[in-house]
Amino acid sequence: MSRRVTIASLQINMAALPSPTTAEANRQLCAAAIDEAAGYGADVICLPECCTTANLPPDDPERLEPLPGPSFALWAERARRHRLVVVGWQYELDGERYHNTGFVIDRDGQLVGRYRKVHSTPNAIANGEVPGDEFPVFETDFGRVGMMICYDAYFPEQARILALKGAEIIFYPTMSDARHEPIWELVARSRAVDNGVYVVSAVMRNSYMAYSGIFAPSGHVVAARQTWAGGLAVGTIDLDERFRSEGHSGIAQPADLQALYWYSRRPEVYGELCALRHDLDLEAVQGSRAEQPR
């Protein structure tokens, strides 16, 4: 049995975009990437965080849009035209509030669901972003998928919850400020290995060394866009091909490692994870960071 899925992940070089630009120009750039992904036979494309807002003036009213809105409408038309799934991103206007939102469009151009970033950065919250509080898993025709956006990936609980809820692929739109590639890459690969899932990064590349890619449950890189240039990382995976290892943890025969991890979990002793708190305010956090040697 085989569930082969061809995945495309868009990388955008922010420095190569006009500055200032418009939301419509950014949307059209993403639409062109969807067209290109279709040429590779992609079943799904993931767009990066800030793909609609990169290089927009900070007071541009088009930074925020409802969902469904203009970006959704354009990309949904492309999803229908090419019969592929689109994992999109936008700043979602919801009444007087706004969220950092990822969403899934199916091959018919219908909204499958939305995910509102749970771990908003302190600066984003100060600027009015409202964090979400749910970890949805979405059904697609090729498998179950979840999302984490940028800073979310540094909280391993999120990927674990998504995997336990059945996500087989975690899409990871990001515009990170991690300026050392090993840190960013280790986080992405670790979330895949920890949970027996595929992680797909889609990167708005600026002054840091992250890249768009597909990371396997084994920790291997299936596909990568390891260049400053924008473009697609494209790879094919088989969701029915389980990651197995012989002799792991005293198990003599080849074992499905995700199933082994789930079998070996002890949630009854993990209560401290939620009970323990650090009473830190933002000023203290920023001060402690500033005092660290560089």
The pLDDT tens digits for 228-278 are 899 999 999 999 988 876 655 666 666 788 998 999 999 999 999 999 988
Please write the tens of the pLDDT for every residue from 83-126.
999 999 999 999 999 999 999 999 999 999 999 999 999 999 99
Give dist(CA 81, CA 66) in Å, integer.
23
- What residues contact residue 289 under an 8 Å CB cut-off, 6+ apart? none
How many other CB atoms sit within 10 Å of the CB of residue 236?
Answer: 15
**178-205: average pLDDT:** 89
**Which of the four pLDDT bands, split at 50, 70 and 90, describes residue 292?**
very low
Q: What pLDDT was estimated at residue 250?
A: 65
Domains in the chain, CATH or no CATH each: 4-241 (3.60.110.10)
Question: Rounded distance, CA 42 to CA 4, Å?
Answer: 11
Least confident of 67-71, 141-145, 180-184: 180-184
Q: Is residue 290 very low, low, confident or very high in pLDDT (cuts 50, 70, 90)?
A: very low
Return contacts of 118-123, CB within 8 angstroms, 24+ apart. Answer: 118/152, 118/155, 118/158, 119/151, 119/152, 119/154, 119/155, 119/158, 120/151, 121/151, 122/282, 122/285
CA distance 169 to 166: 9
Q: Is the peptide bond between 68 and the residue preceding it cis, with omega within 30 degrees of 0? A: yes
Q: Give Cβ neighbours of residue 227 (< 8 Å, ≥ 6 apart).
A: 211
pLDDT of residue 294: 32
Residues 137-181 have pLDDT tens digits of: 999 999 999 999 999 999 999 999 999 999 999 999 999 665 666
Q: How much is the pTM? A: 0.94
DSSP string, 211-255: --EEE-TTS-EEEE--SSS-EEEEEEEETTS--EETTGGG--S-E
Pick from 235, 169, 241, 240: nearest CA to 7: 235
Residues designated catalytic? 49, 117, 150
Question: By C-alpha distance, which of 199, 229, 203 is closest to 216?
Answer: 199
Phi and psi at residue 170, in whole multiples of 5°? -110, 115
Half-sphere exposure of 119 (CA within 13 A, CB side): 15
In angstroms, the CA 100 to CA 90 distance is: 6
Q: CA 48 to CA 9: how far, in whole Å?
A: 8
Stretch 205-212: mean pLDDT: 82
Distance between CA 156 and CA 195 in Å, rounded? 9
Q: What is the 3-state secondary structure (H, E, C) of 118-166?
A: CCCCHHHHHCCECCCCCCCCEECCCCEEEECCHHHHHCHHHHHHHHHCC
Q: pLDDT at position 141, please?
A: 97
> What is the predicted pLDDT for the residue at 1?
67
> pLDDT tens digits for 41-63?
999 999 999 999 999 999 999 99
Give the 3-state secondary structure of residue 63: helix
Q: What is the 3-state secondary structure (H, E, C) of 7-33?
A: EEEEEEEHHHCCCCCCHHHHHHHHHHH
